[in-house]
Amino acid sequence: MRLFTAIDIGALDGLVAAEGELEQTGARLKMVEPEIIHCTLKFLGEVEEHLIPAITEAMQRAVANVGPFTTTVRGMGVFPSPDYIKVIWVGLEGGPVSVIAQNLEEDLQGCGFTKEKRPFTPHATLARVKGAQGKDRLREVVQRHRDTVFGEVSVDSICLKKSELRPQGPVYTTLHTIPL
């Protein structure tokens, strides 16, 4: 099964409004449904079911010294670059999000998962761009929101999620929740 670890963000009013602005650009976008917006801590890929206990143990160790916290959803950006936009994201500031991700990264190597090549950047994907149409207007919206505060999220757990890719969009199922 296809798995990842995450912090749920959800449908903040500011993110719903931002998604509306993005949709009005006329660009070909695949929007993330507001209720499933999340910050991926570690994408695991295809995983054998027998590894799930080791993954959840690594998750517990990753947050062993972390209590509940608040993070601010702030700023909009793109991957990989403004000249070639494939993903539109919002950033997360404050709280130990990067510490949790780093703890997971290190611990999960012991379960056979490879280390990420790029450094972790706390973010949540809002949309995937499916073509060049409307990219100038997209860049304008992203630029306008590069410092916008979209809201705050109270984080009291991390989750192990299963992802099923379907034509109408991904379906995420939470398999385990690890409280902070």
Name the residues annotated as catalytic: 38, 123
C-alpha distances out from residue 34 to 31, 122, 154, 163, Å: 8, 18, 16, 16
Tell how strand 29-31 and strand 84-93 pair up. Answer: unpaired
Residue 67: burial class (beta carbons within 10 Å; 0-12, 13-18, 19+): exposed
Residue 27: burial class (beta carbons within 10 Å; 0-12, 13-18, 19+): buried
Closest by Cα among 132, 124, 167 to 26:
132
- Please enumerate in sequence order all residues whose Cβ is within 8 A of that of 69, keeping only pairs 6 or more positions apart, or say none: 94, 95, 96, 154, 155, 180
Cα(120)–Cα(152) distance, rounded to whole angstroms?
Answer: 20
Provide the token pair at 3: 């798995």
